[in-house]
A and B are shown apart, each in its own frame.
Chain A
Amino acid sequence: MSWTHLWCVGALLLATAVAQTTPKDEHFHEELVVRPLSGDHVNTYFQFTTRWHYGQKENLYHTQLTPRVIAELLQQFDVKELHIGLTQGLWRYETWGYPIVEATSGAEMWAWFKATNLTDQQVDKQWAQLANVFSGVLCASLNFVDNTNSIAPKHLLRPQFMPANRENFVRYASLPREIVCTENLTPWKKLLPCGSASGFASLLNSGYVHNTKYHSLGLKVRTLCQDHDEDNCILEMTQTANLVYDLRLLEQSGNDFSLRRLFGMGLNGYCELASSSKIYVQRNELGARYQLVPPPPAEETTTRGGYTVVYGVYDMQEQFQDQGERLFNIAWLAPKGELRRNRQKPAPPPIYAHRYLLGQGQERGRIVTEVTNSHYAPLPILVQELIPWYVHAYLHTLNIRRRPLGRNEYGSETLPFKLLHYAPGKQRELPTHLEIGFLLPGQSSALITIDVDYLVLKWLEYPPDANHGHYINAALVASALPMGTNYSALPLEGHLFAHSFNATRPSYVLGLHTEALIVSLPTPDFSMPYNVICLACTVVALAFGPIHSVATKLIVVVRQTSAPRNFLKKLKEKLFSRGSPVLPTAGEADVPEGAGCLPPEEQDANENDNDEEEEKEREKEDGEDKECAH
């Protein structure tokens, strides 16, 4: 009896100890944002944030909410900030505005490293190892990230951790060919404290997630340390899932939709480990016409950089206070009698970018990146290009031409670079890294073009299905917007979506991705290696044989044979006279005389001895011999 009692007390003590540490040092938040977009699209954005004030590095051994692999990462590597994005589809800036988190199609990854006495080589090594770790963690092909496709961005990427100074190293890579699917979603959900069992993550069912027009999984880890105090640090891990549904593809009759329609099921509660679980539903702009059932218990109005958004807020922890209710659903009901299609097009965002490829054939082309500024004032633009090594770019062909909006053709007006960083690529070793900065005047587009050559690769370097083509990575475009139109990214110092509310700043750092390109390189015939080796060697032998004869053989005179002219007879002669030389008499006739009659050249060539004295003697003899010649 007493033993049981004691055990119970022990367990209770332990429980209180855990309870004391958990809420104090470590927090987990879940957020879901639903924003109706134009063209019958709905954007749902999940954000799961774990923030752990771990203090000293030694504490990283004892993880609770933070996945162990992330904590180990900070012990193993000198990485301070890490971003990974796995995306399928293309974000349409012109109709959808800016996303809350940016991503490019395929896999994308960048990391900041910082430590005392860290060298570039060490960072290269750590970077490759880091990519391999996450290749396993997320079941993605990040193991293909190495120094042949990574760059160290100079200007475009900015660190989001403190203190940021010159001793930082950054590496960036993207794999546009990567296909994102269920096998990435499942391990990604496993990193969450509640897994996919409860909470918002239970909505992310692969059957529905991968039916979307755009889906992007993100993972961001950063450590925030007090200035010059490595023992007072916060580890912040943000997992995001950004989805765009096309309502027309959902099986339904009207314009209405609901959580159940989007995700296949209602919300079954909240993650018990979460400090907050909130759903934000945009109520103004395109969301204004919907009637919400149930109506949001609270509304929040945010004005950021002159741009006002109204969100309806559902707090799941309040919603599920009564034990009775088990599944929660929100329905968006459009007014009856409205047109089926939502054709309302929003004003384009201040800056958007596209890219395409010019030229035909598999020899050369021109990469074109078009950046448009629809704002009235000039804006600074930074463009970062990572051109893979199998494409040669010519820097001297780089130029930026400008066209005012409303005109169709680009004139000859060029824009000067304010900034240029270029690291030429090297086959099989380095990609071409280009960063350019310029000022884009208001109400105009800039056309950035660079000429490229497509290389022929070794036959084993082509991927399976060589004629599918090779990808050229998306360009990154960055700018600083003076206003918050369409802008919903998290502020640098915030970690929750709610922190972007009313976060007015002097300027808003914007990052965009263009489309990735696909080029078809010339392909060899993969079935030919033996033939090619044989044929090329034959041609070499064709030269070697005769030159060898000329250099080593003796010139002789043989009797003109009375050989038959007819081909068949010749053949017959050859066949039946095998063994016995055809011209025995000729040989007799010329060898004794002929040898003496050779011009001095021949004599010398056959003479092995190059001794000068002998040579002179020889020549003397030659002279005598010649007199006797014919």
Chain B
Amino acid sequence: MDAKFFKLLLLGGAVRFYFVRTPLASLISDRVEFATPLNSQKRMKEGIYLLDQGIDPYSGDLVHESPLVLKALSGLFLNFPQWLPLIYILLDLLTGALLYNLSVRFVKQKLQKQRLERKNYAKDTEQLQYNDDDNYDIPELVLIAYLFNPLTVLSCIGLTSTVLSNLFLALFLYFLTKGLLLPCIVLLAFETVRSLYPIVLMAPLLLVFARRSLIGGVMLSLLFAIACVIIAAASYLVLHSWSFLDGTLGFIFYFRDLQPNIGLFWYFFTEMFEHFRTMFLITFQLNATVLYLVPLSLKLRKEPLLLATVLVALMAVFRAYPSLGDVGFYLALLPLWKRCWKYMAHGFVVFTFFMVTLSMMGALWHLWIYAGSANANFYFGATLAFSTGQIFLITDLLFAHVKREFCLYNGQKIMIDGEEARILLK
């Protein structure tokens, strides 16, 4: 917590505050890349308005926000709409601050662990080890990556509820590094009831808190289930109806709204043959949740935070209604793995992918929807390429981690018969 941290926070706030007052804000809040059926501000407003009018917001097809969030924000939306951007900016800054604190703690833990294991490391691997400078560099990088990433800035000024999701996720990760069980479980249960996919983050939670004991794992899972039930019951008390379950979780699982977004679902299920729909729906939802959960948990069980990062990233790629705000969040976590960067081979490729596809998306959307001179395939192509870029990034991070671990113990230069050897997965 030095002066630089506050300066960065202030600057981040200033950037957001500047843009929120430009016409860009209303443009972004309508863009499909940022505002999905789940997180758009317009739908949130509609939900709060319907709730205020005494109409069940989930009897229709517009509102998919959790009733607790609707209720919590209704006073703000109805009475002080002019303060709304400011509140969202503050929440987003809070997310940044949490990520900063989380990284400080993370680097400290890493250094501590390194000190214990140092004797096992190979000799020329100082470059791969965390050092004292990282105490300052990494949190700062994380903070900068969150506060000044255009994706998070735009997501914030578009007043999407991704700001809230990011805040909750950051809180969860913060408590995870801090080792506070109860807040972790409550936050995770809340996010799960709200948007289904965060359930995968149970894996890092179990790795951190259950400490390989089966009974502990079962107990924690039970506790999590109870927390979910309590949160659902609280939502029921707010609404006096269970319709919200279908309106939030059911809506996500069955993928009812085919509005284009940056994910893989929309065009796939637009063009899907009806009798295969159920099968592919289940396949895609499995892909977004449990498919990578077990192998990655086994592989990364020493690195719960890396596991969480990768799961959050995979979630942002494969979830039913992803938005660029989700992408911005996991990008901010990448500097934590600064010591893997040496082995990340596709950095330039991924960067180019991101730049090209993100700028193409706007253009192709305009050509399709407004100019009428392109069709849906063009936009689909851009989103597909964007997903590919993200997947490259994630797999690159995983490979880099594996290589770093190997080299940390075996040295950066492995010689076979006097020649430099290559590292492969076989």
Contacts and interface: CB of A to CB of B under 8 A. Distances in A.
B152 interface: no
A550 B395 contact: yes
Contact of A599 (B55, B409, B420): B409
A623 B266 CA distance: 51
Contacts of B417: 559, 589
Interface string A242-278: 0000000000000000000000000000000000000
Interface stretch (A153-161, A455-463, A508-516): A455-463
A597 interface: yes
A425 B61 contact: yes
Interface stretch (A113-121, A210-218, A361-369): A361-369
Interface in A516-533: 522-525, 528-529, 532-533
Contact of B411 (A525, A542, A598, A630): A630
Nearest to A432: B60
Contacts of A548: 295
Nearest to B52: A396
B59 A420 contact: no
Given A395-B53, A522-B376, A551-B295, A426 B314 contact: no
Nearest to B59: A424
B295 A554 contact: no
A528 B271 CA distance: 7
Contacts of A360: 370
Contact of B423 (A394, A456, A549, A555): A555
Contacts of A458: 258, 269-270, 272, 274
Given A456-B259, A525-B376, A420 B425 contact: no
B410 A533 contact: no
Contacts of A543: 292, 314, 317-318, 391, 394-395
A524 B55 CA distance: 34
Interface in B404-426: 405-406, 408-411, 414, 416-417, 419-426
A395 B368 CA distance: 28
Given A598-B406, A601-B302, A560 B420 contact: yes
Interface string A424-439: 1111001010000000
A525 B379 CA distance: 11
B49 interface: yes
Nearest to A360: B370
A535 interface: yes
Contact of A532 (B59, B267, B409): B267
B196 interface: no
Contacts of A432: 60
B375 interface: yes
B264 A536 contact: yes
Interface in A119-170: none
Contacts of A589: 416-417
Contacts of A555: 402-403, 406, 423-426
Contacts of A8: none
Interface stretch (B153-161, B200-208, B350-358, B380-388): B380-388
A453 B61 CA distance: 12
B271 A396 contact: no
B377 to A, nearest CB: 5
A529 B402 CA distance: 38
Nearest to B314: A543
Contact of B268 (A394, A456, A532): A532
Interface string A388-399: 010010111000
Contact of B61 (A364, A426, A547, A623): A426
Given A550-B395, A551-B295, A542 B258 contact: no
B137 interface: no
A524 B376 contact: yes
Contacts of B274: 458, 460
Nearest to A548: B295
Contacts of B268: 532-533, 536
A612 B212 contact: yes
Contacts of A612: 212
Interface string A441-460: 00000000000010111111
B30 to A, nearest CB: 7
Contact of B398 (A453, A547, A590): A547
Contacts of A18: none
Contacts of A455: 257-259
User: Taking chain A's interface residues, is the majority helix, strand, or loop, or is none over half, making it mixed?
Assistant: mixed
A548 B302 CA distance: 18
A11 B44 CA distance: 78
B218 to A, nearest CB: 15
B272 A529 contact: yes
Contact of A529 (B273, B291, B318): B273
B49 A395 contact: yes
A529 B53 contact: no
B79 interface: no
A339 interface: no
Interface centre among A389, A426, A601 (most CB of B within 10 A): A601
B223 interface: no
B421 A536 contact: no
Contacts of B46: 394-396
Interface centre among B60, B122, B295, B394 (most CB of A within 10 A): B60
A360 B370 CA distance: 7
A257 B368 CA distance: 52
A524 B341 CA distance: 40
B287 interface: yes
B395 A422 contact: no
B425 A554 contact: yes
A543 B392 CA distance: 8
B267 A550 contact: no
Given A425-B61, A426-B59, A455-B257, A557 B414 contact: yes
A57 interface: no
A413 B375 CA distance: 41
Contacts of B314: 543
Interface centre among B273, B317, B426 (most CB of A within 10 A): B426
A559 B59 contact: no
Contact of A557 (B269, B375, B423): B423
B399 interface: yes
A540 B287 contact: yes
Contacts of B296: 547, 551
A586 B417 CA distance: 9
A454 to B, nearest CB: 9
A514 B53 CA distance: 27
Contact of B406 (A362, A392, A599): A599
A602 interface: yes
A423 interface: yes
A586 B421 contact: yes
Contact of A630 (B59, B259, B270, B410): B410
Interface of B: 30, 42, 45-46, 48-50, 53, 55, 57, 59-62, 120, 122, 212, 256-260, 264, 266-274, 280, 284, 287, 291-292, 295-296, 298-299, 302, 314, 317-318, 368-370, 372, 375-377, 380, 384, 387-388, 391-392, 394-395, 398-399, 402-403, 405-406, 408-411, 414, 416-417, 419-426
Interface of A: 360-364, 389, 392, 394-396, 420, 422-427, 430, 432, 453, 455-460, 522-525, 528-529, 532-533, 535-536, 539-540, 542-544, 546-560, 586, 589-590, 597-599, 601-602, 605, 612, 623, 626, 629-630
CB-based closest 10 A-B pairs: A424-B60, A551-B295, A396-B49, A546-B395, A553-B425, A599-B409, A361-B370, A536-B268, A529-B271, A532-B271
Given A424-B50, A630-B414, 10 more contacts: A395-B50, A424-B59, A425-B61, A529-B273, A532-B268, A543-B391, A553-B426, A555-B402, A558-B421, A626-B120
27 contacts: A394-B45, A422-B50, A423-B59, A424-B61, A430-B60, A458-B269, A460-B274, A523-B376, A532-B267, A532-B268, A535-B384, A536-B267, A536-B384, A539-B264, A539-B391, A540-B318, A543-B317, A547-B292, A547-B295, A555-B423, A559-B416, A560-B421, A560-B422, A589-B417, A598-B406, A612-B212, A629-B410
